[in-house]
Amino acid sequence: MNPLLEAEKIMFDTDRWQEIYHSLRKHRLRTLLTAFGVFWGIFMLAVLLGAGSGLENGVTRNFNVAKNAVFIWTQRTSVPYKGLQPGRFIQLKNADMEAIREQIPELESLNPRLRIPGSYTIERGDESASFSVNGDAPDLLDIRPMLMLSGRFLNESDIAEKRKVAVIGSRVQEVLFKDGAGPIGEFIQIKGVPFRVVGTFGSQANNDDAIEDLQTIHIPISTLQVTFNRPNEIDYFACIPKEGVPAAVLEEKMLALLKQRHLVAPEDERAFGAENVEREFRDVQNLFTGIRGFSWLVAIGTIIAGAVGVGNIMAIIVKERTKEIGIRKSLGATPWSIVSMILQEALVITGLAGYVGLAAGCATIAGISYALKQLGMESEFFANPEINLGTAITAIIVLTATGLIAGLIPGLRAASVNPVVALRDE
């Protein structure tokens, strides 16, 4: 008989299911203890992976810059070069920005930033407070995405015409516009100079950097240079490479060009500072890959222990039913029908225990996620724990494989029973 047809017949054989029920019920305590091992392994897998995803979501959500961003700033030289002494401070200029754009084809976006040192009192009517003021360019949105709440961000016309316009964070709006007036089109005073508000922004992140961003005002860098006596000066560059170009390549080329332009020794590692977000993000991803691997290792170890228990109980059942198996074989039962009988019992134990464990784990993670949102307890390091579909499918595959392996050896042993010897068994 075709094994597939025989397997289908077995699956819908009510007598077979009743037989399995009575067999497992006969060893109730042993079955429950064995099933608990499988249940606990799958439950721990779901909880550990869910908690790991919550931790990963919290950390990666707070990468509130492009994942391949590069930041470069100046420090002091540490190596004498071409007659110049160490200890020189280097000032970035607009000409550096133009040279980078012209000579580095791997560059996608570049934002030069200039800050008004410290915090200055910003005024609007009778309201005033101290906020940070940054001079930026339109490319900032490519590097540090913002949640625009109203209006627009800076554009190229603002830069070219040195317009006195400002984009303010939501916290700035709360303080300066307590009267509820719409900020768009209104004027604020920065060091006594009027700037027209053209946009407001919020943040999707939930960390100290995000809070600081919301208390920041962005104005065109060209306007800041002219208005506040910082002609052609730039504090640092933020940039991203073109698609497919590693951030490390862009970082290396920018540093080499800037060292050449400012007469810095090629081996001087202290003249410029650099931050490669792509490298940092990769390190974080590797960390969470390790956490996921550890979670699977712990869970699979527990599942294997449960599978050994299932195999043991199946071996006991085979031993106790040796005479019955001999009778079945003498009446014409095929080896496959004997093996499938044992496999079916093993799959029932692992399947029920595993699916209940998976459901309990998913319910636990869903409950934790709901509670965190309702209580407002999501932090910058933990948010939205979840079990993805791929994990659930993998767990089901592991369960099925565990059940098959646990029942295979006892099943083969049962199929090899000699009917004559089995009928003599007492």
- What's residue 34's pLDDT? 73
Q: pTM (2 decimals)? A: 0.71
- What's residue 183's pLDDT? 94
Six-digit token string for 245? 């170009």
pLDDT tens by residue, 309-340? 777 777 777 776 667 667 776 777 677 777 77
Residue 76 has pLDDT above 70, yes or no: yes
- What's residue 395's pLDDT? 73
- What's residue 19's pLDDT? 67
pLDDT tens by residue, 373-398? 777 666 656 767 777 777 777 777 77
Worst-scoring range by mean pLDDT, 6-15, 68-77, 89-98, 292-301?
Answer: 6-15
Angle separating helix axes 277-320 and 28-61, nearest 10 degrees? 170
Angle separating helix axes 277-320 and 247-261, nearest 10 degrees? 160
pLDDT tens by residue, 211-254? 788 899 999 999 999 999 999 999 999 999 999 999 999 999 99
- What whole-number percentage of the chain has pLDDT above 90? 40
User: How much is the average pLDDT of 352-371?
Assistant: 84
- What's residue 424's pLDDT? 59
Residue 419 has pLDDT above 70, yes or no: no
78 versus 119: which is more confidently predicted? 78
Site of tokens 């209940």: 356
- The overall average pLDDT reported for the chain is 83
CA distance 171 to 346: 61
Dihedral-angle region of residue 365 (phi above 0 means left; psi in -120 to 50 means alpha; beta otherwise)? alpha
User: How much is the average pLDDT of 17-40?
Assistant: 74
- Strand pairing of 165-169 and 193-202? parallel
- What's residue 281's pLDDT? 86
Element holding 63 (H helix, E strand): none
The angle subtended at Cα 201 by Cα 196 and Cα 202, nearest 5°, is 150
User: How much is the average pLDDT of 358-387?
Assistant: 76
pLDDT tens by residue, 257-312? 999 999 999 999 999 999 999 998 888 888 888 888 887 887 777 777 777 777 77
- What's residue 119's pLDDT? 66
* pLDDT tier, 15 (very low <50, low <70, confident <90, very high otherwise): low
pLDDT tens by residue, 130-151? 999 999 999 999 998 888 999 9
CB 336 within 8 A of CB 6: yes
CA distance 153 to 425: 87
- What's residue 423's pLDDT? 56
